[in-house]
Amino acid sequence: MDVSTAAYDRTTFFSPDIEISEALIRRFDSSGPRYTSYPTADRFKAAYTEQSYMGYLAQRATAGANPPLSVYVHLPFCEKLCYFCACNKIITQDHGRSAEYLDYLEKEMAMVAGHLGPDRKTAQLHLGGGTPTFLSAAELTRLMDGLRRHFEFTSDAELGVEIDPRTVNDATLAMLAGLGFNRTSFGIQDFDPAVQAAVNRIQPLDMVERALQASRNAGFQSVNTDLIYGLPKQSVASFDRTLDEVLRLSPDRIALYNYAHLPSRFKAQRLIHAADLPSAEERLQIFLLSTRRLLQAGYVYIGLDHFAKPDDELNKARLDKSLHRNFQGYTTRAELDMIGFGVSAIGKVGASYSASVRSLNAYYHALDEGRLPIERGFDLDADDLLRREVIMDLMCSMPLDFHALNRDHGIDFLRYFAPEIERLAPFSEAGLIELDETSLKVTPKGRLFVRGIGMVFDKYLAQPTVSTYSKLI
Ligand code: SF4
């Protein structure tokens, strides 16, 4: 395909008949949160403690309100540092460290399970990191045994695991499938050897291809791949070649992340030479090229930076309006309580969020003292719950039905959000939303800009934060 800027018509499209101009992207591409929670994690407070968390768990147990659980386990160890990384990870070659960590995870699981009511089923599990496959087969088996001891999985539970292709072979993938995992997520980022060298993550195409094939052979139902644009040494032409290979590998889902270079916040990123980064113009062209190619290849735009095949569950959820958003991004499962284990894990129980301590020492220390390692969190009031529903529905491009919101929250939407509705005028004029007396709908053209539309309803954005938000592009 011809990717020269001159030949490129500078539009992208979100369905065969919806074209979006570069000027529109420039106008509405705002820096802002990705809304995996509302309020966002940078607003969590130290006043929320272990007691608060246990209080919410107890409320659930006594009220008999037992929605299924989504369990997240953070496994922070990685053998090598990727220079773009913004995750909470520990770089070590000492595999002995994961055994100790597992001891503590088991302690934490036993403590939390003691506060859960009976009949609490688990519909989702996600192992993230770090590198979950830093753990040996025996350790992953031990972890799953522990989880199954404390949590009863539903027969259709989604069990997902993040895979670093450098750490697995055919036997690892078969072992993970044998443990019950049915979803994998591979970090690809970019296949170009120069880009891989510049970010210190060398994983040749044949290595990734073999791991993907092994996961299919092992029977995984859904394979996701993560790509990152905006990395050092990347160009429109080089990313075009990466896309050739990704499309050939044909994953079920593709996440196309924008690299945010924030070296003052993430130490690892100081190892990236700023001069090697593509310009803002190149990034935009890479984004346009990628969305155009993914859509032409038959992938459906789910939202923000996510694409999926038409028959993938995420797209089915988008069509039947059951798509949701949580800390792992888009999900098909609604209203699950989320229980996080491990360092920096985040949870959501009832009208609250919780976040665990980030350092291993603090984590071990809390559990040694018989305390849950909760460091911060948030108690949502009625206004937060209303705004969360509004923002999450917008992030999933779901229409807002004012009548239903008025009934469920005891408000008059048009009066309650009168200032916000005024601020939506530019989105309306640009054809990104349709707003009338009864509803607010994101138009097909507006789906790329849901973050900016959601931000209109975020009351905390006016308050200072320590966080630096990234742009869509
Ligand atoms: S990107 Fe993943 S594998 Fe690389 S250092 Fe970060 S957590 Fe570890």
Asked whether residue 335 falls in the same domain as residue 400, the answer is no
Choosing from 75, 98, 131, 271 the residue with most ligand 1 atoms within 8 A of its CB, the one to mutate for a pocket test is 131
Condensed to tens digits (0 to 9), the pLDDT of residues 125-147 reads 999 999 999 999 999 999 999 99
* Other beta carbons less than 10 A from residue 426's beta carbon: 13
Atom of ligand 1 nearest to the CA of 130: 7
Q: Is residue 345 one of the residues assigned to a domain?
A: no
Q: Is residue 344 one of the residues assigned to a domain?
A: no
Condensed to tens digits (0 to 9), the pLDDT of residues 388-414 reads 999 999 999 889 999 999 999 999 999
The reported pLDDT for the residue numbered 380 is 98
The reported pLDDT for the residue numbered 472 is 63
CATH of the domain at 443: 1.10.10.920
Q: Is residue 419 one of the residues assigned to a domain?
A: yes
Question: Of the ranges 127-136, 250-259, 331-340, 380-389, which one carries the lowest mean pLDDT score?
Answer: 331-340
Q: Is residue 13 one of the residues assigned to a domain?
A: no
Asked whether residue 387 falls in the same domain as residue 243, the answer is no
Buried-exposed string 290-318: b where 16+ CB fall within 10 A, e elsewhere:
bbbbbbeeebbbbbbbbbbbeebbbbebb
* CB of residue 78 inside a 6 A radius of ligand 1: yes
The reported pLDDT for the residue numbered 428 is 97
Choosing from 78, 133, 189 the residue with most ligand 1 atoms within 8 A of its CB, the one to mutate for a pocket test is 78
SS (H, E, C) 126-143: EEEECCHHHCCHHHHHHH
Asked whether residue 240 falls in the same domain as residue 168, the answer is yes
Q: Is residue 407 one of the residues assigned to a domain?
A: yes
Atom of ligand 1 nearest to the CA of 89: 7
Choosing from 74, 79, 82, 162 the residue with most ligand 1 atoms within 8 A of its CB, the one to mutate for a pocket test is 82
The reported pLDDT for the residue numbered 5 is 37
Q: Is residue 364 one of the residues assigned to a domain?
A: no
Distances in whole angstroms, Cα of residue 18 to Cα of each of 39, 99, 302, 311, 403: 32, 52, 15, 21, 30
Asked whether residue 288 falls in the same domain as residue 425, the answer is no
* CB of residue 86 inside a 6 A radius of ligand 1: no
Asked whether residue 311 falls in the same domain as residue 450, the answer is no
- Total domain count for the chain? 2
**Looking at residues 62-73, what average pLDDT do you find?**
84
Asked whether residue 287 falls in the same domain as residue 395, the answer is no
From atom 2 of ligand 1, which residue's Cα is the shortest distance away? 130
CATH of the domain at 106: 3.80.30.20
Task: Please report, in angstroms and rounded to a whole number, the separation of the first and last CA atoms in the chain.
Answer: 22
Q: Cα of 273 to ligand 1 centre, how many Å?
A: 18
Asked whether residue 213 falls in the same domain as residue 330, the answer is yes
**Two tokens, residue 371:** 């305390």
Q: Cα of 172 to ligand 1 centre, how many Å?
A: 19
Question: Of the ranges 64-73, 238-247, 393-402, 418-427, which one carries the lowest mean pLDDT score?
Answer: 64-73
The reported pLDDT for the residue numbered 17 is 65
**Looking at residues 459-463, what average pLDDT do you find?**
89
Asked whether residue 301 falls in the same domain as residue 416, the answer is no
442 DSSP β-pair partners: 433
In sequence order, the 6+-apart residues with CB closer than 8 A to the CB of 413 are 400, 402, 405, 406
Helices (H), 331-381: 360-368
- Residue with more model confidence, 367 or 30: 367
Whether pLDDT at 473 is above 90: no
Whether pLDDT at 9 is above 50: no
**Looking at residues 361-369, what average pLDDT do you find?**
98
Condensed to tens digits (0 to 9), the pLDDT of residues 271-284 reads 999 999 999 889 98
Condensed to tens digits (0 to 9), the pLDDT of residues 179-231 reads 999 999 999 999 999 999 999 999 999 999 999 999 999 999 999 999 999 99
The reported pLDDT for the residue numbered 426 is 96
Condensed to tens digits (0 to 9), the pLDDT of residues 411-456 reads 999 999 999 999 999 999 999 999 999 999 999 889 889 999 999 9
Whether pLDDT at 66 is above 60: yes
Which pLDDT band holds residue 293 (cuts at 50, 70, 90)?
Answer: very high
**Looking at residues 66-71, what average pLDDT do you find?**
88
**Two tokens, residue 406:** 């008025």
Q: Cα of 401 to ligand 1 centre, how many Å?
A: 41
The reported pLDDT for the residue numbered 24 is 87
- Residue with more model confidence, 3 or 48: 48
The reported pLDDT for the residue numbered 3 is 36
Q: Which of 20, 16, 19, 53 is nearest to 375 (CA)?
A: 53
The reported pLDDT for the residue numbered 142 is 98
**Two tokens, residue 140:** 């992953």
In sequence order, the 6+-apart residues with CB closer than 8 A to the CB of 132 are 73, 75, 140, 161, 162, 163
* Other beta carbons less than 10 A from residue 283's beta carbon: 21
Q: Cα of 342 to ligand 1 centre, how many Å?
A: 16
| SS3 state of residue 379 | strand
The reported pLDDT for the residue numbered 22 is 82
Q: Using an 8 Å Cβ cutoff, are 241 and 192 in contact?
A: yes
Asked whether residue 430 falls in the same domain as residue 325, the answer is no
The reported pLDDT for the residue numbered 468 is 66
Which pLDDT band holds residue 362 (cuts at 50, 70, 90)?
Answer: very high
Q: Is residue 472 one of the residues assigned to a domain?
A: no
**Looking at residues 95-108, what average pLDDT do you find?**
96
239 φ, ψ (degrees, to nearest 5)? -70, -30
From atom 4 of ligand 1, which residue's Cα is the shortest distance away? 82
What is the rounded CA–CA span in Å between residue 288 and residue 19?
11
Q: Cα of 240 to ligand 1 centre, how many Å?
A: 24
The reported pLDDT for the residue numbered 117 is 76
Asked whether residue 108 falls in the same domain as residue 217, the answer is yes
Burial class of residue 17 in the structure, from the number of CB atoms within 10 Å of its CB (0-12 exposed, 13-18 middle, 19+ buried)? exposed
What is the rounded CA–CA span in Å between residue 417 and residue 321?
24
Burial class of residue 129 in the structure, from the number of CB atoms within 10 Å of its CB (0-12 exposed, 13-18 middle, 19+ buried)? buried
Asked whether residue 391 falls in the same domain as residue 250, the answer is no
Q: Is residue 106 one of the residues assigned to a domain?
A: yes
> In the chain, pLDDT over 90 holds for what percent of residues?
78
Q: Considering Cα of 432, then 380, then 336, then 224, what sign does the dihedral take?
A: positive
Whether pLDDT at 10 is above 90: no
Asked whether residue 299 falls in the same domain as residue 439, the answer is no
**Which of 281, 309, 339 is the last residue in one of the domains?**
339
The reported pLDDT for the residue numbered 464 is 73
The reported pLDDT for the residue numbered 333 is 80
Q: Which of 164, 112, 100 is nearest to 360 (CA)?
A: 100
**Which of 339, 363, 393 is the last residue in one of the domains?**
339
* CB of residue 160 inside a 6 A radius of ligand 1: no
The reported pLDDT for the residue numbered 15 is 62
Length of the chain: 473
**Total-model pTM:** 0.93
The reported pLDDT for the residue numbered 2 is 36
Note down the domain range covering 196.
Answer: 41-339
